[in-house]
Amino acid sequence: MSSILELALGIMTALGGFVDIGELVFAVEAGAKFGYGLLWVVVTGTIGIAIFGEMSGRIAAVLKKPSFEIVRDHFGFGRALGVLIASNIVNVLTCAAEIGGLAIILQLVFGANYSLMLAAAAGLLLVTVFVLPFRWIERVFGLFGLTLLVYAVAAVQLGPDWGEVARGLVPKLPEPDMPGLPIYAYYVVGLLSSILMPYEIYFYSSGAIEDKWTPKDLPINKLTAGVGFALGGLLTMALIVVGADVFLPLHIDPQRLSSVVLGAAVPLGHAGFLFALAGIFFAVGGAAVETALSAGYNAAQFFGIPWGKCHKPRAVPLFTLFWMVAILLGTGIAMSGANPIEVVEYSVIFAVVVLPFTYYPILRLADNRKVMGKHVNSPIIRVLGWGYFGLICLVAAAAIPLLVATHMGQR
**Tens digit of each residue's pLDDT, the chain (411 residues):** 455 555 555 565 555 556 778 788 889 999 999 999 999 999 999 999 999 999 999 999 999 999 999 999 999 999 999 999 999 999 999 999 999 999 999 998 998 899 999 999 999 999 999 999 887 887 788 778 888 889 999 999 999 999 999 999 999 889 888 888 999 999 999 899 888 888 889 988 998 898 889 999 999 888 888 888 888 899 999 999 999 999 999 888 887 888 888 899 999 999 999 999 999 999 899 889 999 999 999 999 999 999 999 899 999 999 999 999 999 999 999 999 888 888 888 888 888 889 999 999 999 999 999 999 999 999 999 999 999 999 999 999 999 999 999 987 776
Asked whether residue 328 is assigned to any structural domain, the reply reads yes
For residue 19, which phi and psi values (nearest 5 degrees)? -105, 65
Per-residue pLDDT at 171? 94
Per-residue pLDDT at 17? 54
Per-residue pLDDT at 276? 93
Task: Determine contact, residues 143/363, Cβ cutoff 8 Å.
Answer: no
Helix (H) or strand (E) holding 347: helix 340-366
What number of CA atoms fall less than 13 Å from residue 157's CA on the CB side? 17
Sequence-distant (6+) residues with CB within 8 A of 1 are: none
Task: Determine contact, residues 91/295, Cβ cutoff 8 Å.
Answer: yes
Residue 322 structural domain: 2-405
Tally of domains in the chain: 1
Per-residue pLDDT at 1? 46
Task: Determine contact, residues 339/106, Cβ cutoff 8 Å.
Answer: no
Asked whether residue 210 is assigned to any structural domain, the reply reads yes
For residue 118, which phi and psi values (nearest 5 degrees)? -60, -45
Asked whether residue 231 is assigned to any structural domain, the reply reads yes
Separation of alpha carbons 40 and 44, rounded Å? 6
Asked whether residue 411 is assigned to any structural domain, the reply reads no
Dihedral (Cα; 402, 406, 407, 409), 10-degree rounding: -90
Separation of alpha carbons 166 and 172, rounded Å? 12
Coil, helix or strand at residue 36: coil
Task: Determine contact, residues 411/357, Cβ cutoff 8 Å.
Answer: no
Per-residue pLDDT at 298? 96
Give the residue from 18, 33, 17, 32 showing the smallest Cα distance to 266. 32
Per-residue pLDDT at 8? 59
The CA–CA distances, whole Å, from 362 to 65, 66, 365 equal: 10, 10, 5
Query: Any idea what the CATH number is for the domain that residue 129 is in?
Result: 1.20.1740.10
Please report which residue ranges of 211-339 form alpha helices under DSSP H. 218-223, 229-242, 257-303, 317-335
Q: Compute CA 215 distance to the chain's CA centroid, rounded to the nearest angstrom.
A: 26
Asked whether residue 410 is assigned to any structural domain, the reply reads no
Burial of 374 (0-12, 13-18, 19+ CB in 10 A): exposed
Separation of alpha carbons 190 and 22, rounded Å? 10
Per-residue pLDDT at 384? 96
Asked whether residue 179 is assigned to any structural domain, the reply reads yes
Task: Determine contact, residues 79/73, Cβ cutoff 8 Å.
Answer: no
Give, rounded to a whole angstrom, the gap between the first and last alpha carbons of the chain: 51
Query: What length does the chain have?
Result: 411
Separation of alpha carbons 284 and 216, rounded Å? 32
Exposure string for 50-64, b = 16+ CB within 10 A, e = fewer: bbbbbbbbbbbbbbe
